[in-house]
Structures are given as C-alpha cells and as structure tokens.
Structure 1
Amino acid sequence: MVFRAWTQRNAMNSKRDATKKRFLATILLSSNRRWTRRDKVSRRRYVMLVLSVFTICMALLVPMFGKPGSPVTPANDGIPWASKPEEVDGSDDANKTILSIAVSMDADEYEYWKKQNQLFERSHPQISISMTNIRDKDADEARKQAVEADEPYDMMLLDNDRVREFAVQGFLLPADEVVTGDAAADQLEALTSIVKWNGSLWGVPLDSDPLLVVWQKGLLKSAGLTLPPINLQALRSMVEQLATSVPEGVSPFNLNTADAKQMIAWLGMFRENGVPAGDLSSFNLSEKQQLQYAADQGRMVYRLDPVQQKAQLMEAFQTGKLLSAVIPWSVYQSLTNDQRNLLMVSTQNGPLVRTNGRSFVLMAETEKLTEAREYINEMTMTSEQLDRYKRMNRLPSRISAMTREYEYSLITDRPPHFLVNLLGQSVQATSDPAWNERWERFSQLCAQLGGNSHSFSKAAASKFIAQWNMEPEEESDAEAPLQKSLETNT
C-alpha cells in the first residue's frame, strides 16, 4: 500500500513537472519570437539609414569628380593630373565665321547698324559681323581694293542703280535662293525690277527713299484743277491762268539744277518723259522744251535744296508762291500734318523715276553663303524694316511692312497705303550696265550749272542740252514749238 501510494505520488509529480516545463518552454518560445521580430525591424531601419547616408554623400561627391580642373588619379601610375577643356587663343572667336559687309551711309545710320549687328551676333553666336563704311569711296573702287588686299567682301549694300552693272561684270552671285516663297511675293516691284538681269534677281531690296513730285493744292484749285497737270502744255496754261489771279506771280516749280537726282526726277515728272529720264538717254524734244521753259521762267524759278532748305521751301508753299517741287519721301514724311495737307503727291500712280533704293548683294568671292542668307533674311524681316522706317524715314521694301495693321497710326509710324500702288509698279529706269558711266557725266554737267548760285538762263539751258546730247549748240532766241501730240489737262 505504501509502495503504491509512493508510486502514484511520483507519477503525479512527474506530470506536474512536465506541465511546468511545457509552460516555461511556451513562454520562452513566445519571448524569442518577439525579440526576433524586433531585431528584424531594427536591422531594416539601420540598413535604410546607411543607404540614405551613402546616397547623399554620392550626390555631393559626383559633381566634384566631374568638375573641370579637379584632380583625377589614373589607375596606371597614380600620378594626379588636371582635366581641363581645350582652349584656342583663350576664346571662342576662333570658331566663329566672320561675315564681311561693305556699306555706304552717314555716321548716324552707321551707328544704328553697328548696334543691330551686335544684336544679331547675340542670337547667332557662331557668326561675327565685320562692317565697313565706304561712304567716301566709289563702290567699285572699294571692292577692288578689298580684293587686292586679299580681304574681299562677302556682301555689299549697293544702290539699286549699280546692281546690274556689278552683275554683268561677274562680281555678284544670284540672290534667287534668298528671296523665295512668301518673301518673293512680298517684294515691291519698283525695287526688284531694277535689280533683275538675265532672268535672275541679283539683289535683295532693303529700303528706298523715292523722289516725289508734290503740288500746292490751293493753287491747283485756284486754276480750276483737282489734279496736277499731266504734261508741259497743261502746266503752261495753268501758270498763265494763275498769273491773272495771283498778281505777285507764282513760281511753277522748285529746281535745284546742281542736284542730278532731282533733275532726273523733274525731267521725268510727266509720263511721256519718264523712261528717257530714268534711262539717262539723250534728251528728246519734250525734255528739251521742258528745260527751255524752265529757262524762260528765269528769276521766278525757286532753286532750294529740299533737305538743307526745307523751312524756306515750305514757306514758299504756305504763302502760295510755289506751285510744285521734287522732294524725297523722307522730307515729305518729316513734315507736319498741316504742311502735308497743303500738298498733293502727283506720282501716286507714276511715273516713279528715282526710288533711291538699296539692296544687299552677294559677292562672287564669298564662301559664306549660309551665313549671308541668315543675315539678309533677318535684316529684311517686316519688323526690322518697320523699325528702320521709324528711325531713318526710309520706306520698307516689303508689301507686308507697308500694309500692316496700322490703320489709325500716324504717318511717322507706318507708310501710307498709296505708296503700295506707287512702288508696286516697275520703275522707269532700267539701269543698264553702262548707266553709271552716264550718271557720272550727267552729274558733272549738272554741277556746272551752279545750282542756287547761278540762274538757269536760256544760254545755260542750250549749252546743257548740247553737251548732254553731244550735238552742236542751237543758237536761237525763239522758243521751240511744243509737240502737237501733247495733250492738255482736262
């Protein structure tokens, strides 16, 4: 009995011990699991922190490694060296293309172009502009000197009268590829017709300052006319009628005989004389009669320079003493509204003899066609032309610049629409290759007339006609009869 009781007690103790062991094991296992989970979270956070620090350090160090001039140790010999970009003469100018351009203009306009060239260089860092002002030289002489010095010009800004002469002699390249598409359709015919030759365009028109014939409206009205006279016979009749209504007398025109350009425009003021005057051909009968009529008027003819003596010229118009005059557009544009309202422009529908236009030309020696085209295209944009119009008073060469949305703007801000009709037709002068030679001779003969310092007498007129036509001087005091074909102004 005792033994059985002891055996049962030992069995119960063993069960109790086993239960305690299982309980303790369960507690330990649970504790281990919790600590294991915490360890995993801590390690993950630690790894993330280390990676973040490493990333930040690399971000700070990488620019230092790539910075020019920072020491770099090559793997072969361990000798540090400086990594620097290659320099040529210490600047980037050696990589630029120098575009050489010859122009002829006054000092104020030249300063304007230098500033425009600086703006162009900023937007085209690969191009450098070298502009030379040849104002005191003939364009051809300047070209020859540049070629002889082995520094030929890439481009020139030429008077339109000289373009064909240069083209025929082989000094230029065609400009057809520069003026294409919409740009070609946007050009004014009066400016392109004079720079065309052999089916090609040899210049890109830039601007113009045409010579206009203006008439005093009040005097036209006093003579019973609403439009200017269309020929010399009509002018004669008008002046005779005014002589009866204006006792103090009226000068039929202002004529500065020493100014060859004004003489050409004045001789071509009537349509029948437009072409011969523009071409500088020998005086025909109608032109002779016009010159003789100017001599007949004697002391009544004004001889003022429209540019230098603008105030005196306008005073003559305002007091009703002057009927007509030839003035550049830039002078007309500079007048006040009241002064312009006194005048009527007779050349609205032609003929236009003198445009005083200029064009960019490509020289045959150039190898920089791409850069030249970029320059021409940018400098002849509508916006650029309107900017120059406001500054220089020279008319744009593009139709779009003449017809932009400036309907209510002043004439100083945009050119009037009637000029589109005037410049939209071919100019009277054809400017053949020999034109410049005739121009030089004509200018010399005009200079001999003396301008303001000498009256334009009958003898001076006869001598001028004979010298220009290279024919014997006519000795006759009788007035030459007018052509029967001349029409009167109705």
Structure 2
Amino acid sequence: MARRKLALVFLLLCIMALLLSPWADAPSPSSVPVSVPASGVQVVQEPEEAEEISRLTIEVALEEQEFRALSNLNDDFTFRHPEIEVELRRIAPEQAYETYRRASELQEAADIMLLRNEWVAEFASSGYLLPADAAFVGKALGEQFEALSGPLKWNAYLWGVPRDMDPYVLVWNLDLLQVWLGGETDLPLTEEQWLAAAEASSGAEQGSEAYWLAIDGEDPLALLAWLESYSQERSDELWEQGGQAWTGTARGQALALLEERRANVRFGRDTGETIRALGEGNALAAVMPYSKAKEFVAEKGEFRTEIDLRSWRLPYIWPRGSSFVISARTEAEEAANVWIADMTGEQAQLLHMEEQDKLPVFRSLYDADRRLSDLLPGRAGQSFPNQAPLLYGPETATILVEFGEMWSRFTGGALNLEGWMEEWEREAEG
C-alpha cells in the first residue's frame, strides 16, 4: 500500500515538471537587451531629434521671365535643402525702391531682398540690413570686381552680394551709318561726326521719323552711358566737378546737341521703346542694356548691326548691377547666407548668363569661358570693371533719383538747357 502511494506521488511530480518546463526559459519581463561593444562599455541609444526648419521670405524686383528662371533655381535649392523653406515673391521693378524702403521702415521687410547696387549703402546706413560678408563662400569675395563691390561697402563692411551686371551699350545700324557718314567711318564717333549724323537725320527721306539717337528718356544711367560714348570720359566724376561739370566740356556739348537736335532724337519712356526705334531701321544708334543688345543683334534683322563696347575701356562705367541683401529683422540669418551663396555661385551665374544674357560677377569666368574671354579685354588693368565708382555712399540713391528727374523733364520738354545748367549749379552750391 505504501509502495503504491509512493509511485502515485512520483507520477504527479513528473506531470508537474512537464507542465512547468516551457516557462523555465522565458525571459524576465523586467530585462532589456543591451548592446555592448567589444570594449565592454555600455552604449545608450539616444532618440533622434527632428531637424529644425528655417523659413525665408525673399522679394526680388524682376520681370516675369527672369523671375521664373530664379524660381526654377530656388526649386532646385529647396529640394537639396529640405531644412529651409522659401517663399519667393516678385515685385514690380519700377516700384522696387519705394516698396523696399517702406517695408524696411515698417520693419516688415523680407528676409532677403534684391537691390540695385546704388541703393545698398543707403539701406545699410539706415540700419535696415545685416552685413553680408558671411554669404561669400570660398573664393567668392576675391572674385568680385571693384565696380560691383565698391557701392556695397560702408562702415568697413560689405552689405550685399553681387548677382549680375548689365551695363548700357550703344547698338549701331551700320547700314544707316554708311549712308549718312560714309563707308569709311570708324567708331566711336567724334564730336563733329555726331553733329553730322544729327544733321543727316533731319534731312533724311524719313524726315521726322529718322533718328540719330534712340535713348530711354526716364533712366539717367542711359544718359550717362551716351555721355561716356560721346566724350570718352567716365561719367561718375560729374558730381566731383560741381558747377563746372557742363561748362566748356564735351559733356556740355553733348547735352547742347540733344537740345538743338531733339526733333530727331527718339526719347523713349522705357527700354522697349528704344529697342523698337532701332528695330524699325530708322535710328542710327540706340542706347540699351547689354542683355537686350545681345538679344537684338542675334535676331539678325534686315540691316547690319553692331554692339559698341568701346566705352568699356574707360576706368568706370555704370555696371547696372544688382545684389542680394539680408534684412536686419530676419530670424534666419544663417539660412539666408546659405541661400544667397547658392544663388550667386559660379553655376548659377553661368546659367543666368545663358538664359538672360546678364553678365556674371566672377573674374575667373572671364578667363575660363570663351563666350566672355574677349568681352573685357582690359579686365586686368585700370579699365572697367576694375575701378570703384567715384560717386558712392548712402546719398548715391537720392542723387541719382534727383538726376533722373532732371533728365525726365529735359526729355519731356519741361526743362531746357539753360534751366538744366541753373539747377545743376544750384545743387552743386547747396
């Protein structure tokens, strides 16, 4: 009897052992697997932090076509920089100065703005901008021409990053030049030849529809460009000469010729009118931006044309450059520097030149690219664009605005030559 009970107890113990054996190897619920490197030092994995997003608003004063091209570059940038969100806005070029100025005064300016070079010092001295030195990456700072970087300097800092330049040039109707002045005429014209051309236009078969010059009557830089071609002298020194700038000088003679022969001058209200005047075949010469001139000549119309770059041999001409600046109110300065560096880099400049014919701002590109190598033959010497302007500083924008108003009234017939001289002398004395 005792033996049977012992056997039963042993059997029950075996059954219990079989039931409990699957749980014996189960891990403790409180245990956590830890990765231990070969050194035996325990490594604790920290959770990854989400990358901080920077947001930029950017306003540019561009025409529609050029704005679309910049938008494409910006799309590529945001694809490569998902940590930077960009809102790109276009404003009308003719309203740019007032728009930028008002927004800056109200502390509502965009993080980045595209300004004309001549405006930058004024905005910087008013406290509206941050220095832009950090946006020059690698060799970019050493690549800048003085004609472009000079207007951006104020108080020992650079306040903008050049994007392009588009100087005015003269475009000649060579067929009309041969008819009016003879087949052996060389450029640039002398003062006597300019007068002969003006006289020829008044006696031409087209009569009042024949022009010895087509020029934008609203932009003072167009006048300065023609004065440079006529006198073969840099025009930024006008203000240094004060009241004597026009008296007994080649520039004074040029202005007198415009007054005396204005009946056969096409004073356009914008560049488009100037280009159309030359395209009609009735204008001898037209003053237009290089980019527009290159496009015009490439179309190969019914008459022979030539872009005249001879004035670029002067120490300084107005480059009509534009630069990106950073608003003092931005909260994303580092992102702004990254965006500007990308938009003004070598590849961006070359693409901009291919699409818009605007000239790049890096010296080395004029040595490395065959399309540019002969464009600035004096780029290593004392000619454009190696010299900084004589007129620079916070007052430059205001001075050019006032000069532009005089030019507009002169071309519109509200200001004659005598009145021009009186106003100039009064401003010089004041």
Please give the TM-score of this superposition, normalised by the length of structure 1.
0.63
2:197 and 2:75 map into 1 onto residues whose CA distance is 59
1:336 and 1:351 map into 2 onto residues whose CA distance is 26
RMSD of aligned residue pairs (Cα, Å) = 3.9
Where does residue 144 of structure 2 map in the other structure? 187
Where does residue 374 of structure 2 map in the other structure? 417
1:184 and 1:244 map into 2 onto residues whose CA distance is 49
Query: Cα gap change, 1:170/1:145 in structure 2, threshold over 3 Å: closer, same or farther?
Result: closer
- Give the letter aligned to residue 78 of structure 2: E
Cα deviation code 1:231-254 (max 9, x no counterpart):
xxx312564499699973985433
Where does residue 342 of structure 1 map in the other structure? 305
Does residue 119 in structure 1 map to residue 76 in structure 2?
A: yes
Question: What's the offset of the Cα at 1:450?
Answer: 5.0
Where does residue 252 of structure 2 map in the other structure? 288
Question: What's the offset of the Cα at 1:158?
Answer: 1.0
- Give the letter aligned to residue 313 of structure 1: L
Where does residue 463 of structure 1 map in the other structure? 419
Does residue 437 in structure 1 map to residue 398 in structure 2?
A: yes
Cα deviation code 1:102-156 (max 9, x no counterpart):
222223333333332222111011111123334364546535536746x553322
State which structure, 1 or 2, has the greater radius of gyration over its C-alpha atoms: 1
Q: How does 1:120-159 map to 2 (within 5 A)?
A: 120-135=77-92, 137-139=95-97, 141-142=99-100, 144-145=102-103, 148=106, 151-159=108-116
Query: Which is worse superposed, 288-297 or 274-283?
Result: 274-283
- Give the letter aligned to residue 195 of structure 1: L
Question: What's the offset of the Cα at 1:427?
Answer: 5.0
Q: Secondary structure at the match of 1:327?
A: strand
- Give the letter aligned to residue 291 of structure 2: S
Q: Secondary structure at the match of 1:399?
A: coil
Where does residue 487 of structure 1 map in the other structure? none
Cα deviation code 1:334-390 (max 9, x no counterpart):
023456963233223125432221111223333433212211111112111111222
Determine which structure has greater relative contact order: mean sequence separation of CA pairs < 8 Å that are 6+ residues apart, divided by chain length. Answer: 2
CA contact (8 A) 1:206 1:360 kept: yes
Cα deviation code 1:48-87 (max 9, x no counterpart):
xxxxxxxxxxxxxxxxxxxxxxxxxx947xxxxxxxxx9x
Cα deviation code 1:428-476 (max 9, x no counterpart):
453321122222222333333454xx5x9xx7222233234338xxxxx
The structure carrying a bigger helix percent of its residues is: 1
Question: What's the offset of the Cα at 1:274?
Answer: 1.5
Does residue 263 in structure 1 map to residue 223 in structure 2?
A: yes
CA contact (8 A) 1:279 1:431 kept: no
Alignment identity in percent?
25
Query: Cα gap change, 1:447/1:297 in structure 2, threshold over 3 Å: closer, same or farther?
Result: closer
Where does residue 322 of structure 2 map in the other structure? 358
Query: Which is worse superposed, 166-175 or 387-396?
Result: 166-175
2:89 and 2:55 map into 1 onto residues whose CA distance is 13
1:173 and 1:207 map into 2 onto residues whose CA distance is 20
Q: What are the ranges of 5 or more consecutive residues in structure 1 without an aligned counterpart? A: 1-73, 77-85, 408-413, 472-490
2:112 and 2:148 map into 1 onto residues whose CA distance is 19
How many residues align? The count is 367
Cα deviation code 1:11-56 (max 9, x no counterpart):
xxxxxxxxxxxxxxxxxxxxxxxxxxxxxxxxxxxxxxxxxxxxxx
CA contact (8 A) 1:213 1:346 kept: no
Query: Cα gap change, 1:403/1:315 in structure 2, threshold over 3 Å: closer, same or farther?
Result: farther
Where does residue 226 of structure 1 map in the other structure? 186
- Give the letter aligned to residue 203 of structure 1: G
2:127 and 2:69 map into 1 onto residues whose CA distance is 31
Query: Cα gap change, 1:123/1:280 in structure 2, threshold over 3 Å: closer, same or farther?
Result: farther
Query: Cα gap change, 1:309/1:274 in structure 2, threshold over 3 Å: closer, same or farther?
Result: closer
Query: Which is worse superposed, 238-247 or 387-396?
Result: 238-247
2:416 and 2:234 map into 1 onto residues whose CA distance is 21
Query: Cα gap change, 1:279/1:100 in structure 2, threshold over 3 Å: closer, same or farther?
Result: farther
- Give the letter aligned to residue 142 of structure 1: Y
2:234 and 2:344 map into 1 onto residues whose CA distance is 33
Q: How does 1:18-417 map to 2 (within 5 A)?
A: 75=29, 95-135=52-92, 137-139=95-97, 141-142=99-100, 144-145=102-103, 148=106, 151-179=108-136, 181-217=138-174, 219=177, 222=182, 224-229=184-189, 234-237=190-193, 239-240=195-196, 248=204, 252-269=212-229, 270-272=231-233, 274-277=235-238, 283-285=245-247, 286=249, 287-304=251-268, 306-316=271-281, 322=284, 324-337=285-298, 338=300, 342-343=305-306, 344-350=308-314, 352-405=316-369, 407=370, 414-415=371-372, 417=374
1:179 and 1:279 map into 2 onto residues whose CA distance is 32
